[in-house]
Amino acid sequence: MKEFLAAAMIAGFMGVSGAARADEDKWTEDVQGVQAAAKEMKSRLPPRMPAPGPLPLLQYERAPVHYFFLPVEGAELSGDLSRIKDDFYPEKEFRGDKFDEEKTIRIIRFHWAAPAANPHPKAEGLLHLYEPVPGDFRNARPLILVLPITGDPKNYFSRKFCGYFFKKGYRCAFLERTLPPESELPQNMAELFELPGLPPYSTETARRGLDALEQMGVLRPGEKIGVAGISLGAIDAALLALTDERVGAAALLLGGANLPKMLSEIRGVGVGSFARSREKQMQAHDWSLQDFAQEMARHTYIGDPLVYLQKIPPARRLAAERFLMINMDGDTAVPNACSDQLYEALKDGKTLPEYEKLFVPLPKKYRHVLGAFFRSPGARRKMKAHFEKFLSD
């Protein structure tokens, strides 16, 4: 009897153990299946955004800038920019004011030895300088630096703005933005922000341009300037105002911050290449919009005003009240949420930027480009009043 009970217990134990092993094997297979699925999903997701690394504009070091003048007529540039002058400001645009191109416009090509923070060995820029009375510092009004939009190879907006300030007696300069044609742009949007024509490297070019103007004697040491930017140029202007002590006032037309969100939502006339590139990249990697934004955050932080505002204490940057922001209500290229975020980040206690959203009775997809076109005369007047207020002290 004892032997029977012992044999039964052993058999029962072995049966339970066999069932347990079967359950364990099934559980292991399930876990392995889940792990394999998770691994496959992880491979399709962008890596987590690391903590922001060094910011190039905060590592800026002065260096000698080499420059030379180009003739107003017939000047040539390398690459896809072969035009310097194209119907340069007919005199009628100045309503009878005397305007001698050879005496009042100087085109300056400059280059410098790129520091380690700039990956572009060919670091150069091109400035168009307007001077009502060249070399007359006693009667000269402050310099206004205009930073341009993308997709304007003839510099229409920059020329309009510089022409306006020139007519009002200001010295003015605008920086050409050098970008390859759309067919040659990187398919990966993250690589766009490695181009010298986009922030932060385009902002560094603007700073080197100011260094060149100091070396030329156009700017005196310690002199304050105004900076005006349009669209992408407004992002450059915000970065320049936050990182360069020479800026005494900034005017941002169609600007904003939070580049991952901006690139995730950008659409409309004039910015179609960004939207098409986003859709291609999302489809290629099977990303959601959130995945795409996460990937953009890993690359765009080096040129995002929000990141710089987090890094630079309020006491060490341009006061909030010295910023003027003008945006279009319902803009689909620079969403209002992105301009709102920049406004909130600039606020310093009771000190607020001047912020205005203009309405244009157009479909939303047209409001960025055509809004800038139709509203630019009023925007220029507001900018002039802003600069007069803060550059006269």
**Residue 335 forms part of a structural domain:** yes
Give me the number of domains the chain comprises: 1
What per-residue confidence (pLDDT) applies to 104? Answer: 73
Is the alpha carbon torsion for 44, 287, 259, 198 positive or negative?
positive
Cα distance between residue 219 and residue 50, in whole Å: 40
pLDDT band at 1 (very low <50, low <70, confident <90, very high): very low
**What is the C-alpha separation between 233 and 150, in angstroms, rounded?**
8
Distances (CA, A) of 169 to 322, 382, 383: 21, 16, 14
> 30 in a domain, yes or no?
no
In this structure, of 51-60, 69-78, 223-232, the range with the lowest mean pLDDT score is: 69-78
Which percentage of the chain shows pLDDT scores above 90? 53
- Do residues 179 and 263 lie in contact, with contact meaning Cβ atoms separated by under 8 Å? no
Distance (Å) of CA 134 to CA 130, 140, 172, 223: 9, 8, 11, 16
CATH number of the domain that residue 160 is part of: 3.40.50.1820
pLDDT per residue as tens digits for the range 83-125: 333 333 333 333 333 445 555 788 999 998 876 666 666 689 9
pLDDT beyond 50 at 8: no
Say if 344 falls within a structural domain: yes
Region for 169 from its dihedrals, namely left if φ exceeds 0, alpha if ψ lies in -120 to 50, beta otherwise: left
What is the distance between the alpha carbons of residues 253 and 290, in angstroms, rounded to a whole number?
A: 28
**What is residue 15's predicted lDDT score, i.e. its pLDDT?**
44
Q: Does residue 54 lie within any of the structural domains?
A: no
Would you state the pLDDT for residue 94?
31
Q: Is residue 287 part of a domain?
A: yes
Kindly report, residue by residue over 321-380, the tens digit of the pLDDT. Answer: 999 999 999 999 999 999 999 999 999 877 899 999 999 999 999 999 888 888 889 999
The model's confidence at residue 77, banded by pLDDT at 50, 70 and 90, is: very low
Residue type, 259: L
Q: Would you state the pLDDT for residue 250?
A: 98
**Mind listing the pLDDT tens digit for each residue in 148-184?**
998 888 899 999 999 999 999 899 999 999 887 767 7
pLDDT at 122: 67
Instruction: Compute the mean pLDDT over every residue in the chain, rounded to the nearest whole number.
Output: 80
Q: Which domain holds residue 230?
A: 133-390
Cα(first)–Cα(last) distance of the chain, in Å? 111
Residue 4 pLDDT: 39
Q: Is residue 103 part of a domain?
A: no
Evaluate whether residue 55 is within a structural domain: no
pLDDT band at 193 (very low <50, low <70, confident <90, very high): confident
In-domain check, residue 110: no
Q: What's the pLDDT band for 144 if we cut at 50, 70, 90? A: very high
List helix spans (H) across the chain.
Answer: 2-44, 101-104, 156-167, 189-192, 201-216, 232-243, 259-265, 272-285, 289-300, 305-311, 336-346, 369-390
Mean pLDDT within 258-274: 92
Which residue, among 158, 167, 301, has the nearest Cα to 230 in the 3D structure?
158
Cα 158 versus chain centre, distance: 17
For residues 193 and 282, what is the distance between their CA atoms, to the nearest angstrom?
A: 18
Dihedral over Cα of 89, 91, 95, 96: its sign: positive
pLDDT in tens, 268-286: 988 888 898 899 999 999 9
**Taking 50 as the threshold, does the pLDDT of residue 133 lie above it?**
yes
Q: What is the pLDDT of residues 16-44, one digit of tens each?
A: 445 545 555 554 555 455 455 444 434 44
**Structure confidence at residue 141 (pLDDT):** 87
Furthest CA-CA distance within the chain: 125
